[in-house]
Each structure stands twice: as C-alpha cells, then as structure tokens.
Structure 1
Amino acid sequence: MDRRADAGTDTGAGTGGEADAGTVDGLRELLTGVEAAVREVGARLAAGQPAEPIAARTRAEAFAHFAALDGPAAARLRARLGELRPQAGWVTDELAESVPAEGEWWVCDATDGAVQYLLGLPHWAVTATLLRDGAPVLAVVHAPQLGGRTYRAVRGGGAELDGRPVAPPERELAVAVAGTSQPPGAAGDELALRRAGESLTAVLGEVLAVRNLGPTSLQVAQVGSGHLTLFWEYGADPGNLLPGALIAAEAGATVSDAAGAAWTAGSDSFLAAAPGLHGPVLEVLGRVG
C-alpha cells in the first residue's frame, strides 16, 4: 500500500485562508468544496460510461478499459481535494486493508463499483473521505447514474441526502431489507469467506430480503437514510466502509463490528443497523463461528 502526503505539504493545522476543519462549521465549509469536486468527477465518468458492457474477454482487458477512464478521474479528484486541504495526505490505494492511524488523509474512490461501471450498470459511486487520526470526519458518497443522489456527513454535524437530513426509521427485523458485500480481497481470506457464507444463511432466515446493491459505501450510507435496514460484511475493507460508516452513524444508525465492539478502520467485520435492530442482528450474527 502506497500512503504518502504530497512533497512539501504540512500535516499540521490549516492556514488562515482555509476552512478550520477542526470544527463542525469548518468541516461543513470544507464539505461544500468536496461535494463540488466529487460531483464534477462523477459527471465526467458518467459521460464516459458505455451503455453496453465493455467488450473484454479477460480481466486484464476489462481493467485496461477501466483504467483509461478511472485514472484521469482519480487524478482530477486528487487535484481538486488537494487544493481544498493541501496539508492532508493521500491514501493512493483505496482497496488497501489498512489506513494511517495518525494525521489527516484523504481516502477516495473515483469509481466505487468498478464492476458495475464496466457492465454499463448505474450502481457505482464517487466517494471522498477525510480521515483524522484514523477516523472519518467528513464524507461524500455521490451516485451520478442513480438520480445523482448524494450523501454527505461531517462528524458531529449529522448526515444528509441531497441536502436533506436523514435518519433510519424503525422497522421490525422480519420486514428488514439487508445489504451485504465482500471486500475485494475476500478470496484470500478463508475466515472471512466462511463467515460470509454462514452469516448469509443466518440472516436470510430472519429478514425480508438480502441484497447486494453495488458499492459498499453507498449501501452503508443507505442504512442511514432507511433505504436499507442493515448492512454487514466480514473481512477488512476500510477504504470502502469508511465513508458510509460516518454517514450512517451521523444519521443515527448504530455502527459496530459483527460482535458489537466499536468499529474502526482495522476491524475485520462490520455492521450498520437501525438502532432498534442492532441488538437483534448481533444475536443473529452471533451464530457465526
């Protein structure tokens, strides 16, 4: 994993001409610029997305097509966010299994949901998350091809969907629609693979439906707005979980690992659920070894 700040940057406090991102008001001011950058990149990617699946016979061919679009988009996002918060470092591998524990860092994904993007499907998103000492303090998740929906949140300031505050509604577990996914490196994690299978069997018997609706970040954010009732996953996946985790928590959902402990970027499992259902879901996941 390549983690570095740009040469010559400062990891200390902002300068006088920048938003004071150490306060809620300062984070909100910064959030406006971050959302504009994310929307700009999303519009460019949406314009370049093929309507039909990309004609590629192999994984290498498919991702060569994708890199030609994603590379410039990621570079543009980095440039825009660098202008907004130049002292923050940049985690260059959003699929990495760990993130820096100290300082300010951007964790971003120009195309969260690359597989769907390549297939001409709308279920992908552009994400940007600012970390401070390993924890998210600002996040934007924007889905250009899903009506342009945009989730955003700052720590201590609540969460919004398209500019409106959101909160998860109360539901019984029997009518819950759950989301789940697997980290990009799940195939190499035998424990995560086993737990994913066992937990799917356990959850299916308790809820109305289980779905995988594409980008992990977007699904977790949807728990905050009530479009999904819960989301769980096994395996380390901080780059994909961090933005949605902040949004869901700020909306009022309960976020933890699958055993009920506080979730951090280093956790090996994840659960976000409407507050009244978090305990019952933990009981269901407790059947998993």
Structure 2
Amino acid sequence: MDPHLNDLKQLNSLDPARGREPTAVEWTRSRAMLERVISGRAPQPSPSRPVRRRLVVGVAVAAAGAVAAVTVPSLLPGTAEKAFASWTAAPGSLTGEQVLPQARACAGNGRGGPSTAGPADVLLAEQRGLATLLIMKKDSGVIDLCLSAGPGSDDQLASMSLADGPLPAPPADTVTLETMASVGEGDGRWSDIVGLAGTGVTRVDVRPDGGKSFQASVRNGWWAAWWPGPEGGEADTLTVTVHTATGTTDHRVVDLD
C-alpha cells in the first residue's frame, strides 16, 4: 500500500470538520458561486453613482440621496441565513392584518417621529419563506420599507425610508425605480428593489443577468422584491419585465426613471 495513503488517513482523522454536512444555505451559496464561475460572471463592486433615490450598500451601510436611509440591525447568527434558505421566487401576498406585528416593529424604527401602525397603513406586504417585506406609511406621512425574518424588532434584516410623503403615480402602464440596494458581503449578499407602478400594471418580474426570473409584488401603486444575490448593488445587471393588459415590456434597470 502506498505509504502516502496512510498519511492521508491520519490527516483525515484530525480534520475538525470531518463528517460535517453543509447547511442548506451553504449548498445554495456554493451552487450560486459555481454557476457564476461557469458563466464567467465575476462578482462586481458596488457602484457609487445613484439612480434616483437609489441605495447601494456594502459591508458598511451607505446611502445616496436626501430621502433614502438604510438601517441594518445587529442580527442573531443564522437569522439572515435562514431567510436565504427559505426564499421563494414567487411571493405570497399578505394583508395589513396579517403583518401587524412586523408593521408595528417597522413603525418603531425612529424615523418620521412616533407612529402607530394599523392595517390600512400597510401599502404592500409579501412573504418569501421566513422573510416578510412590507411598505408602510407612518403618521407623519413618511413611507418606509422594512424586511424582517420574524414579527419582532429584533428580527428585522433592514429598514429604509422611501419618501417623505405620497409620490406622484407614473403613467398607467409604466413603472419607476425608486430604490435599489445590496447588503452584506461575499456570497452572503442580498438585494432589494422598489418602485412605483401605474394603475395598468398587473405584474412585475425581475431577472438578474445569467439568472432566473422571479416575481415582484405589486399593490397600491408600489412594486417590490428582495432576493439572495449582489445585483441590487451593481450598475446594470437586472432586467425588469412589466406586464399589462396589452402585453409585456422589458426594461434595463438603468433605463427606469
């Protein structure tokens, strides 16, 4: 027998990770990294040029524009990973009644002054696995977006201000881009995108370059989505498909007003 094989067996017995099975999120990240390598898509640095009230967030939080501001709380280990692992391409639509705990936690983030939260204050709410994304208006008129992995304030993954008050609706069959962000580092990055939707818009899909399309939520004149990946912090790696009663149109994200 080759004596080197005995050496390898001895080294294997000393491996502290011997017999450990990767978690679901680690498998997901590994497959995503392999797909990027095979397709030749290397991770790109976050740009500093904003698009409207666009947010670009890296390891440390940074915001562009006077209105937008991002808060990323300190999370318990595994909170974001569990949200990643349970993410779904098609969201579940939620009512204001169903997300009152999350809305109250969002209302208490300190922006726009003291605020209560009722079902009518929730403009949009979606569920993807463990994570809930909602857009809500506060007593002061400020409109916020919050993403959480549970009902309490300790479960919030991020929150941001979208506007100081109501925004003018775009033309009936069109959408705008109001905010785009990326949070985290390496394979642990996740992104979100938010805009306004005209009254004729029935659905919005988002497709990262080289990736699969996923569905955004559309409600009360807003559209929004979040996903595991860095594209929200990259200059031009997304296509937005707008569906109306008369057909569909594709837009590069940088071309949206």
Normalised to the residue count of structure 1, the TM-score between the two structures is: 0.29
Considering fraction of residues, name the structure with more helix.
Answer: 1
Normalised to the residue count of structure 2, the TM-score between the two structures is: 0.32
